[in-house]
A and B are shown apart, each in its own frame.
Chain A
Amino acid sequence: MNVSRHLPVMNRAEVVEGVCVSIKSDRDIIIARQKGKELAASLGFSSTDLTLIATAISELSRNIVLYAKTGEIAMKPIRQGERKGITVVARDEGPGIPDVSRALQDGFSTSRSLGLGLPGVRRLMDAFEVVSEVNHGTTVTVKKWTLPRWD
């Protein structure tokens, strides 16, 4: 899992069979998590996992609205051998996170009014990575895998 490092040029991701939702207001949060849920459902995730994924997307989208005002959520399917999964990339060009390692500590939970809830999001998903640079923006990438299917 990576902590703060210098952001390379941000490519507009080529989303293959995926969905991209532009985040501009709190209403987009609902759209993003609904689309995420649909995509994850099509990949065969259990209903519990669907809720975890939708909740993570909700948290990440909300961070964009609160701190960067605008950004995007890109979701697409991924494969690892026989396993299927989903990756969600929350990207913004907002103020960035000055101290990423601190933001990832558990003390900074979402129960505080200031706080990105990143440790919580990490607990919801299987893989988590955040890249942020002050005044340039933040990109959070999370992944979740389905249980192996043997058909």
Chain B
Amino acid sequence: MQVPILKQGPYLIASIQSALSDEDLVQLRDALVTQVGKLRSRGVIVDVTVLDVMDSFATRTLRDIAFMIRLRGAEMVIVGIQPEVAFALVRLGLKLEGVATALDLEEGILYLNRKMNGSGKEMRDRGR
């Protein structure tokens, strides 16, 4: 199950359409990291609105994606975590630390805009 990745200006938006198997998640990770490099994107939004379950593997993979993308000088934000999923994640003890989250696509884009505007210096210092 391929996750469609759309380019929106300097950002990439990965819109998950259905439950992802472990293999799908790994494919998503590789696809995003490759695309960020190719298109020199500044930010990635992963939209998980559709996911009714996020378990330890999904969380770990998303954290990996965020980490790898940051190595490429881009920021990642996860949007659309459902209330029940947020509750389950927290009960499970998965903190998603170090990964930005926002309510929805709109908020995600605003977040990335703020990050880009406010952290021009940061990005230069990261030495892309």
Cβ distance B81 to chain A, nearest Cβ, rounded Å: 11
Interface residue A80 (Cβ < 8 Å from any Cβ of B): no
Instruction: State which of A2-10, A26-34, A90-98 sits at the interface with chain B.
Output: A26-34
Would you call the interface of chain B mostly helix, strand, loop, or mixed?
helix
**Which of chain A's residues 99-146 have a Cβ closer than 8 Å to chain B?**
106, 109-111, 113, 117, 119-121, 123-124
Instruction: State which of A11-19, A47-55, A69-77, A81-89 sits at the interface with chain B.
Output: A47-55
Cβ distance B35 to chain A, nearest Cβ, rounded Å: 24
Total A residues in contact with B, Cβ cutoff 8 Å: 29
Would you call the interface of chain A mostly helix, strand, loop, or mixed?
helix
B85:A110 contact, CB within 8 angstroms: no
B94:A59 contact, CB within 8 angstroms: no
Total B residues in contact with A, Cβ cutoff 8 Å: 23
| A30, A55, A113, A123: residue with the most chain B Cβ atoms closer than 10 Å | A55
Given contacts A110-B92, A123-B93, contact A50 B84 (CB under 8 A): yes
A62:B57 contact, CB within 8 angstroms: yes
Interface residue B52 (Cβ < 8 Å from any Cβ of A): yes
**Which of chain B's residues 1-32 have a Cβ closer than 8 Å to chain A?**
19, 21-23
B21:A26 contact, CB within 8 angstroms: yes
B53:A55 contact, CB within 8 angstroms: yes
Given contacts A54-B53, A62-B56, A110-B93, contact A48 B19 (CB under 8 A): no
Cα of A121 to Cα of B56 in the assembled complex, Å: 10
B84:A51 contact, CB within 8 angstroms: yes
